[in-house]
């Protein structure tokens, strides 16, 4: 079970990092790039997984309870990934065909006790904090051309999983996400994502573990100021000034509905499947699939609907109980509706593949 737990935790961190690699951009989107690089729907329902921590052990924890109230652990991971579409651009509008992205993440997970609710329900709340840095072209294959895309991101997530009979889990989470332009020490967008999910873990006779999750949530965005928030959403400076000064008047829309706090407000729902298959005592394979649908409710993107499907296959090798090396791959497809296309949101495909190195040390 320790191996399964470690791998699940690493998988949750990889899901988080995969999102940041596509979305953690604080600079203007280059011409031909996807204006949706800062799409908050990518974070909704995914970031809450970053706080899984010990909860990934399922109802096993009813038997294996700790003596202490708090269970802290430190997580560090780094990866070097090839991306077939670093700017998430449409196939006919690519200005950067492919490239290599590098991410470093330092996280802290704190389990906050185990509380029995009746005879068959166990609550195990947890807190997760992380700081990540993503370099879009660390080896400078393109010189300094893409250095303005490099960004930090910070996550704070609280999770309240209720372990139910028959290995079911009901989870309530809230995640706060803040991308940062570390070169200018500036953050122009803040995302709050409350969510809930139902989860099921099934141990199979062959020795593997099947995981299923279905849930829904909200993305609520805020900005430091109107123009900066428009730019942070990938909108060009010329268009951002036009939207700020003219568009609400022309369309007869109250200014409050176009404020930064409403730029990417949306609700979403998603499903996720994964299977942990032991190949040897130390090597496991983790195929996975996820699907999410985001519906935008206010401001410039009102009526836009995005569908994102993702297929993954990771191989994880435990060098030690606290040390892990992985080969990771992920293929994602995103489609938006007519309303999205009207505001220059592009359909795209992207393949990510590379290696990841992770440390998880529990106190």
pLDDT given for residue 98 in this prediction: 86
Tally the domains of the chain. Answer: 1
* Three-class secondary structure of residue 160 per DSSP: strand
Question: Two tokens at 176?
Answer: 């706060």
Q: Is a pLDDT exceeding 90 seen at residue 204? A: yes
pLDDT given for residue 315 in this prediction: 98
Query: 298, 293, 302, 232: which is closest to 261 by C-alpha?
Result: 298
Report the CATH number that the domain containing residue 222 is assigned in CATH.
2.40.160.40
Domain range for 180 is: 2-362
| pLDDT tens per residue, range 264-323 | 789 999 999 999 999 999 999 999 999 999 999 887 788 999 999 999 999 999 999 999
In whole angstroms, give the CA distance from residue 157 to residue 109: 9
| pLDDT tens per residue, range 148-178 | 788 899 999 999 999 999 999 999 999 999 8
205 contacts: CB under 8 Å, gap ≥ 6: none
122 contacts: CB under 8 Å, gap ≥ 6: 59, 61, 62, 114, 115, 116, 162, 163
Extract the runs of DSSP E, i.e. beta strands, from the chain: 70-83, 99-112, 115-117, 121-123, 126-135, 151-164, 168-180, 189-203, 209-223, 266-278, 283-296, 305-320, 323-336, 348-362
| pLDDT tens per residue, range 233-250 | 666 767 766 665 554 443
pLDDT given for residue 147 in this prediction: 83
Q: What is the pTM of this model?
A: 0.75
């Amino acid at each position: 079970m320790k191996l399964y737990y470690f791998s699940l935790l690493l998988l949750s961190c990889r899901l988080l990092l995969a999102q940041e690699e596509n979305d953690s951009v604080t600079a203007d989107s280059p011409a031909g790039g996807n204006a949706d690089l800062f799409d908050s729907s990518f974070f909704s329902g995914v970031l809450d997984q970053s706080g899984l921590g010990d909860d990934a052990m399922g109802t096993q924890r009813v038997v294996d309870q700790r003596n202490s109230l708090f269970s802290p652990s430190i997580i560090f991971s780094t990866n070097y990934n090839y991306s077939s579409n670093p700017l998430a651009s449409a196939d006919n509008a690519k200005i950067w065909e492919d490239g290599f992205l590098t991410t470093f993440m330092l996280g802290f997970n704190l389990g906050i006790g185990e509380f029995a609710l009746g005879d068959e329900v166990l609550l195990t709340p947890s807190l997760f904090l992380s700081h990540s840095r993503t370099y879009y072209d660390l080896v400078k294959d393109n010189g300094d051309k893409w250095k303005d895309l490099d960004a930090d991101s910070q996550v704070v997530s609280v999770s309240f999983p209720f372990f139910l009979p028959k290995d079911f889990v009901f989870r309530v989470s809230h995640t706060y996400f803040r991308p940062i332009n570390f070169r200018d020490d500036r953050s122009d967008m803040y995302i709050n994502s409350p969510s809930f999910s139902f989860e099921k873990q099934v141990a199979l006779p062959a020795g593997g573990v099947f995981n299923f999750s279905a849930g829904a949530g909200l993305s609520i965005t805020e900005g430091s100021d109107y123009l900066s928030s428009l730019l942070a959403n990938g909108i060009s400076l010329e268009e951002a000034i036009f939207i700020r000064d003219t568009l609400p008047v022309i369309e007869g829309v109250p200014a409050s509905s176009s404020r930064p706090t409403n730029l990417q407000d949306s609700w979403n729902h998603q499903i996720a499947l994964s299977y942990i298959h032991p190949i040897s005592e130390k090597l496991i394979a983790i195929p996975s699939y996820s699907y999410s649908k985001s519906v935008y409710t206010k401001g410039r993107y009102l009526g836009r609907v995005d569908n994102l499907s993702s297929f993954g296959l990771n191989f994880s090798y435990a060098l030690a109980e606290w040390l892990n090396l992985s080969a990771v791959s992920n293929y994602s497809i995103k489609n938006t509706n007519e309303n999205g296309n009207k505001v220059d949101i592009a359909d795209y495909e992207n393949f990510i593949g590379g290696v990841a190195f992770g440390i998880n040390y529990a106190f």
